[in-house]
Amino acid sequence: MKKLFVIIVIFGSAYSTSLYAQSKTPAIVLSSFRSSFNNAENVSWSSVKDLYRVDFTLDEQNISAFFDEDGNLIASSRNVTLQQIPMSLKSDLKKNYPDHEVAGLFEVDKEDGITYYATIRNSKNQLSLESTPAGDWIVTKK
């Protein structure tokens, strides 16, 4: 019975924290979100530093978006597959990291363009990569 009570308290806290975050989100941010992502579902708000983060589902994809206090969309991100990245990045992965497998891949869409991030690994190491505007990868973490 104690375990059930603890579980209920934890879920209740998480739910109320989410409701609190949404109720503290300025109306201009909520309006901007609705106009940018009209058909979003499973919406969950939180704050990250001086930004408002919203996690949601759109067209069966999990997406995160970040807004400033004036309602400006700063960036959005989503997980992607190898088939969804530009050919130059896919070729660069195969050419420079032939013995690695892709463990994670996501894109960040900002005002200045889209950047891709990958985590690759083999039996010896794991690397974090970031795409460049030139269409190749740089190692950000070994």
For 60, half-sphere exposure in the C-beta direction (CA atoms, 13 angstrom radius) is 0
Q: Which residue is associated with the tokens 């989503």?
A: 78
Tokens of residue 131, six digits? 């795409």
Q: Which pTM was predicted?
A: 0.76
pLDDT in tens, 102-131: 999 999 999 999 999 999 999 999 999 999
Q: What is the pLDDT of residue 23?
A: 58
pLDDT above 90 coverage of the chain, percent: 77
pLDDT in tens, 38-65: 999 999 999 988 999 999 999 999 999 9
Tell me how far apart the terminal alpha carbons of the chain are, to the nearest angstrom. 46
Backbone angles phi, psi at 6, to 5 degrees: -60, -45
Give the E-state strand segments of 68-136 in sequence order.
Answer: 73-79, 101-110, 113-121, 126-131
The model's confidence at residue 99, banded by pLDDT at 50, 70 and 90, is: very high
Q: How far is CA 52 from CA 77, 110, 133, in A?
A: 14, 15, 27
How much is the mean pLDDT over the chain?
86
Q: Is a pLDDT exceeding 90 seen at residue 67?
A: yes
Domain ranges of the chain: 2-76, 82-141
Q: What is the pLDDT of residue 24?
A: 85
Q: Which CATH class is domain 2-76?
A: alpha beta
Centre a 10 Å sphere on the Cβ of residue 65 and count the other Cβ atoms it contains: 23
